[in-house]
Every structure is written in C-alpha cells, then in structure tokens.
Structure 1
Amino acid sequence: MDYRLVQAQPGRVVMQRTRTLQFVLGGVLLLLGLPALALGAFLALADPLLGAKSAGFGLTFTGAGLLVLTRRNGPGAFVFDDAEAALLVFASTTATGQPEGRLPYSEIEGFRVRRQVSRSSEGRSVHHALEVAKRDGVAWTLYTSQSERKTRKLLERLQANCNPARSTGSSPAPAESGTFQITREPGRTLIEFRKPYRLVTQITAMMTVGGISLAVLGFQDQMPSALFYGVLAFTVLVLAGVLIGLVNGLNKRGLITLTPERFRSDERGGIIKSWFEEPLENLHAVCFTYHPSQGQQSVMLLNRQQHDTLTREVPDDPMSALSVAMGMIGVRRIEVGELGLAQKLELEQLIQSEVERVSGKRLL
C-alpha cells in the first residue's frame, strides 16, 4: 500500500491511498489457493496424504490472500492544507467531510527524501522514501519507490505547492473523537480506551497456519519421524499462539494513569494482561512512526537516550542496524491494538497535554 499525488495546487496537496499492488498480490494468492484447496478435497478420496498436501498448500495461499486483501494499514488520504495550517488525515480516499485527525504545521519540520535499506534472505533492497519529518524527530513515510528521481520529483511538487514553514494560517485545536474516555481530577488524569480488534485478521492468520499444519501432515511418509513430529509440534504451537491471540484480543481495553510523579499503563480484559510504570522525570517524548506497508500497534514513550537512538542518522550496515535495535529494546510501548493513525495521533497529543497539565513538564 502506498499513496499517490492526486491534487497539487497552491496551498493544498492531496495524497490518496492506493491499494493496486495489494489487490494484485491478494488476487494471485487466491488464484493459487482456491483451486489447490478444491483439488486437495478431491484427491483426499483416493490418497489422503496427497490430498492433505494439496489442501494444505491451498488453505495456506487462500488464508494469505485474504489476509493481504483485508489488510488496512493507513488513512484513505492525507491533505496538506495551508488554510488549515495542518496535515489533515481522512478515513475516506475522497478526502471529503471532516478530517478524523490533524497534525498542525507547527509540529512539522519539513519534507525530505531518505534512503531506506531492507535486508532479507534474498539480499538487500534499496528504496527512496518521501517522509514528513516531525519536530519531535520521528518521521511519517507517505511514499516509497526504487527510483530516487521519481521520489524527488514528488518532493519538489509537494514543496512547490505546500510549505509548513511559510504558512500563515492557524490550526484549530483538534476535536476529541470520542475514542478516549478522559477523567480529569486535580493532579491526576485517567485515559481509557477500547483496543480495536479485527476478527478477520485472526481468522485468516489461523487459516494460513492451519494450512501449513495440514501440508506438513501430507509429508508424513517422506520425512524422518523425529523431523516430522518436530515440525508438526512447532506448527501446532504457532497455531495455538494464533488461537490465544484471537481470544485474548476480545474486549481488550487500555487504561493510562497520569500523576505528577508517574506514568502508568494497564491492560484490562483478555487472557494476557500487562502493565508498566515509568517516572515522569524519565520521559522525554511520546511518539510513533508511520509506514504504509507496516503495522504499528503501539505508541512509544521514550527517554532522552532512546529518542536520540531512534532519530539519529544511522549508516545502513548490519552492525549499525543491530546497535539501534539493541538500544530500543527497553522502550516502553502503549499497545493500542488496531487504532488508526488519526487515533494514535490523538492519543499522542492527549498524553502530551495531560502530562503538562498534571506535572508542568513539556514533552516533545
């Protein structure tokens, strides 16, 4: 999933979500999976093991295809609006109606193109990303391409029509969406919210893992017993983990408690519960990153050292990447489930304002 420029005029730039690649990939997986699943059911009548192989691979591809097709990882559109002095976030790709979130221009440092390197077993791939650099040091990625020229051309069009630094408008305070229940008391704030949960994601994940388990059963006569049972046990454990995740996500809620001295985050509901506390004096920033092809289900609380690690320029060699990963291990994260970008932005802004209200401390 990515964003494409659909409107660029002085003072207003609209970037719309495009899911073409997502639909193509999901469609290909379904075309591979559904016939194999049907063939497996037919073959099982004559050869159960052969049928299990075919049906297992078919179920895996079908589940993966549905997982890709139902995945939604970002807003429908981003609108840079000089009149509103804000980056507006819309749920709809048509960018009509009221925005569900806004990032004031005062919180935007500027736009940039950054080289992003990813590694896999197949080697290294390089992409050039168009990013919105926020003043808290983190960035939102809106567009990626292997072509640096194409990405820089998009950057030039964006800068020519919209520039937060020269905007003279003023952005109104964002309205509360109703996602968060806020209780304000002298010296304390309680923020409670339901963690959205997409059942279809868990079901399609179960289909994928279940298909792998079924395919493994089909190779029973071609694998050493120890290896077969080891692989089968592993896939069953993974399937059990997905099932636990399915049940655990039901009716999950988060509760944040702010006092002049401490920040506390609790989880309510579900099977697995977690909590943490952090002295407010240790907090330096509350933020989250955004990339259209990645799912981020948390908002980070950073101390100064962690913030510096996250925001500094890092060479693209493996050891530097490992150093950054090690430096971020202890980061406190508020798990927010399937909250959208606009709601995560609202939570970020809410925590910033309430920390200042109860303690007088200003976070980035």
Structure 2
Amino acid sequence: MTHTLRWAPALLALVAGGTLLAQEAPPPPAPPTTEGVRLAYKWIRGRKSRLAMKLKGEMAVSIEGGPAGAPNQMPITMSGEASMLQHVSTVAKDGTGTVAASLDALKILMDLMGNSMVMRYQNGKFSMSMNGQNMPMPPGGAGAPGMPGMDPKLLRQPFTMRISRLGKILSVKGPASTVMSSFPGTGQTGMGAGGFALQLPDHPLQVGEAWEETQQMNIPIGPPGAGLGRGVSMNMEMRAIHTLRKIIAKGMRRLAVIDTDASISVPESAGAGPISITNMNTNVTGVTYFDIGRGEISSSKHDVNLSLAMGMDPGALGGQGAGGQNASFSLDGSFNVTVTNTPVTAAPAKSAVRRKR
C-alpha cells in the first residue's frame, strides 16, 4: 500500500498529461486579416514645416593631462531648444524629395560645476555668456573637440538633403552640412536625422513586425580651429531595430507608432591626427510617430546614452598637458531628445475688394 501511494503523484501526472494530449490540438494562429500598412514619405513640392527640438541630460567629463589648472572632473547638466525650418523644393519622378533646411533659433544652457553657461543663436547671431557675463567666441566658433562647430557663418546658411520615399538620406549639401554631419542621424541612427527622416522598409508592415537597419558613417571628430586641423574623421557603425508597435488615431489622422532600439559604435583607436577615439558606444531607444496620411514624421522621443573615451596629443585641448604628455578625455552622458514637426501654413491671400459702380 505504501509503495502504491509513493507512485500515486506520478500516475496522476501521467493521466493528466494523457488527457491533455488526447484533447484536440489548438488551431494554428489565424493569418493576418489585413494586407498590412505601407509607410512611405510623401514629399510635396512647396510643403513647409517647422521642427521643434528639445534636449535635456547630464554628463560626467573626465580629463587627464589637460591644460594647467583645468579640473580633472566636470559634472555637467544641459538642456536646450532648437527650431528649424524645412522646405521641400523639388520632387523627382521616383518620389525623392529635395529638402532645404535652416536653423531658426537655438538655445543651450549648461551648468558646469556651479557655473551657468548659455549659448544662443537667433536672428543670424551667436552669443555666449557665463554667469550672466558675455563671453568671446572661441576660435573656430563654439566648437570643441568631439563637438560640432557653431560657426554663425555656417548656421546662417541653409543646407539641402535628398531623401528617398523610404527615408534614406542620399546626400547632404551646403555649408551647414559640415555641422550636420557631426550629428549621428545624418547617417540614420534610428532617431532619423534630427527628425527629418526614419528609414522605412520597402513592403507593407503588420503590427508587431520589425525591420533592421545598418549604416556605415564617416563623421568629423571636430571642426577646424579646435586644434584638430582638416580631414580628421572617424568611421562609425550604426545598427537599429525598428518595430511597428501599433496604429493609433489622433483626430482625423492615423499614426504609426514605431519603437527603435539602436546602437552606434566605432572601431578601436578610430580617427587620426591629434585626437583618436579609444572607445565609443551610444545606445538610442525611443518611439517615433509617423503620420501615414501626410507621409512624414509627426513627432519622436528618444533616450540617448553615450560613453566616449578619447586620446589627445599635447595641445589638442588648447594647452600643453602636464609635462607635454598626451591627454585623455572621457565622457559618460544620458540625454532625452524630443522632436515635434508642425506644418507651416501660408497666410491666406487678401481678396481684392470690388468697387461699386
């Protein structure tokens, strides 16, 4: 009897399992009932829109072997706003659009070890201040190693991009393209060129479907005048996975909600000249709202986590390092970036007033 009870649980499990197996197997999942949704950009000649960008984040900067008297550790908090106008000037037969873009306004606030720095660009002029006191522009604009230059001569002039119907940026031209190329996004990071484009697949999508994007980019490390010289650049590799999470209705519009998980990395010891990248990893996660009817990005929100380590020759930071030794620079930061795209409508033409006869 004791022996039988010992095996009772096993027998019950076998009976239960046999009963389940004897039942009719569940039917396979039903095939999709729709043909999916096809996403594509609809470039319309003359269409104008304004991109409003907001950024907020924190950085921890470490410098070894920098200029005499410079701090080794610098915690930085930063926030910023920018407004950019874009205008579709031409559309090719294959749907490729030529988009002209220009920076309308920019404001960046940074807190560096208790000091408040403000950088502004408005009405074609660039200014800097520290704790309310005006500061002179550094050589080469507001550029610094590893950062794009803020030369007003570049910022005042528009640049043009050729973007395909699937969001691939085919070319970037104009003086400001040097500045734009310093931002991951011109080569597609999953965030989409600062809100201009997000690369889309060439087939209809089902909700829940994902597609992969891989890009090779060559990015300038810094502008001339920041101790770098000309032609100093590095190769980057971007990998992103985009997923169509759902389709939502917002008023009369249908929006595709697209999740993105992207990473950007560089080969070890990338770059040349006075600066080399010894390590860089960037992770980008967020969501893009794509207006299906208008064929354009409506808005996006992304979190960016950056880890960067650089080696520098003496003097690359604007002064000799201790004993003329090479300097090292590291940065760890996290940022939140939002972009909103708003159509710009022209003022209605005034109708002619007929005179009474």
Of Structure 1 and Structure 2, the greater helix share is in 1
TM > 0.5 fold call: no
* TM value normalised by structure 2: 0.24
Highest CA radius of gyration, 1 or 2? 2
